[in-house]
Structure 1
């Protein structure tokens, strides 16, 4: 076997991996650009959930969402997810350093439940482009994509995409689908109480249920309502041009 042929065999897998990485980066870059103004038809997490259901034999499962612009989402809903998930959303550049430090300190306790510190921007990047789960590889990719969307998109756009792809229950993605499924009304008509209840099940809608809220979820709903008031309600959204 010639040295040239051996070298070709050695480098061929590397070349294919390199091409795959470049192609993936190109898809992500195109997605960041195009979704800065186009509706998002589906997210990576939606695809992951659908494939997982099919592979497990659940052919009745359907990942579904209905895109709506921010003008068709009630202001309490926009405020509720920030109150519950990321109160510094209008101010940071994708990462809440204080929350990260607090989470690291909290998680040093082996008996404590693991606490996350993902901002709405990070959650949007993960849900739209990546897969679920915890790994340093995924977190690294998430960080890079977060910088990308924070650079190209406005805060209002990030919030709009987040609200349209976030998971509220099995197969229920986006606030319009959630509003119709749980409250039989469009997202534009959600009340503060209903919005706070939807936000209360995030980011774990498989454990916490909107239609069967536990005592914890109900307490969290009330806490979110108080935070919405303390943030300033609609004035907060108008001040930061988020609705």
Structure 2
């Protein structure tokens, strides 16, 4: 019995060693990130994004003009869906079919193509940085889940059309409309909206005014799809 009593007084092993401290630090770091990321998304559900990392890292002077979705022509929304994400209202943030198709194309070499949805692009543009890498893609996926859950489709589209680069140093469709057409995004025609949508994938390489070749053909194709998006209700989640 005495021996048992002595054994019961021995200190219990704890995780206070180096490994335990590292694990505790990592756990606290993850918890802090989760809290901060959720807080960011909740705040931006109601507050316009003042600036993004992409803007801060831009070598050019930037032009932007936050505009509520009600002040952006519906043709611009339809053009963005037609050009960037035809299933925007149908998926939960990820178009798995498009991602698989992009993966297969990339295995064949040539220019790397993405299968990102508007939701994924918005998550990247608002909260992260440009460029690839699995770490950034992982963060992008997390933020995509958050904005789909907390913001909803209408707010995602509003954010996208305000932070997407529409030309060198130009961010948002309002700044793009003023730059290229000298008018508000509220007054864009289907063709004008389609031409802006056509440069979204490569805004530093494609021109809206005087566009030729692929950009011109792509813009014309988007313009033809604007009415289809509207008639088939593919923008219905934005205008319920």
What's the TM-score once normalised by structure 1's chain length?
Answer: 0.84
SS at match of 2:166: strand
From 138, 141, 144, the counterpart of 1:146: 144
Q: What does residue 88 of structure 1 align with?
A: 87
**Cα separation, partners in 2 of 1:204 and 1:13, compared to 1, 3 Å:** farther
Q: String of CA shifts for 1:93-112, please: whole Å, max 9, x gaps.
A: 000011011111111212x3
**Which runs of structure 1 show a deviation greater than 6 angstroms over 4 or more consecutive aligned residues?**
10-18
Contact map agreement 2:78 2:230 (CA 8 A) in 1: no
- Greater mean deviation of Cα atoms: 23-32 or 69-78: 23-32
Distance in structure 2 (CA, Å) of the matches to 1:38 and 1:181: 25
Q: What does residue 225 of structure 1 align with?
A: 223
Q: What does residue 37 of structure 1 align with?
A: 46
Counterparts of residues 88-107 of structure 1 (less than 5 Å): 88-107=87-106
**Cα separation, partners in 2 of 1:142 and 1:235, compared to 1, 3 Å:** closer
**Cα separation, partners in 2 of 1:230 and 1:140, compared to 1, 3 Å:** same
Counterparts of residues 1-243 of structure 1 (less than 5 Å): 22-49=31-58, 53=59, 61-110=60-109, 112-233=110-231, 236-237=234-235, 239-242=236-239
Distance in structure 1 (CA, Å) of the matches to 2:54 and 2:28: 24
Distance in structure 2 (CA, Å) of the matches to 1:20 and 1:214: 49
Distance in structure 2 (CA, Å) of the matches to 1:44 and 1:15: 30
Q: String of CA shifts for 1:140-195, please: whole Å, max 9, x gaps.
A: 11001100100111101100000000001121001111111111111101111110
SS at match of 2:40: helix
Distance in structure 1 (CA, Å) of the matches to 2:22 and 2:175: 43
Structure 1 or 2, whichever has the larger Rg, is 2
SS at match of 1:162: helix
Instruction: Give the aligned length.
Output: 224
**Cα separation, partners in 2 of 1:18 and 1:236, compared to 1, 3 Å:** closer
Q: Which residues of structure 2 form unaligned runs of 5+?
A: 1-16
Q: String of CA shifts for 1:173-225, please: whole Å, max 9, x gaps.
A: 01111111111111101111110000001111111122342311100001111
CA RMSD of aligned residues (A): 2.3
Distance in structure 2 (CA, Å) of the matches to 1:21 and 1:214: 48
Q: Which residues of structure 1 form unaligned runs of 5+?
A: 1-6, 54-60
**Cα separation, partners in 2 of 1:145 and 1:224, compared to 1, 3 Å:** same
SS at match of 1:31: helix
Offset at 1:12? 8.1
Contact map agreement 1:165 1:174 (CA 8 A) in 2: yes
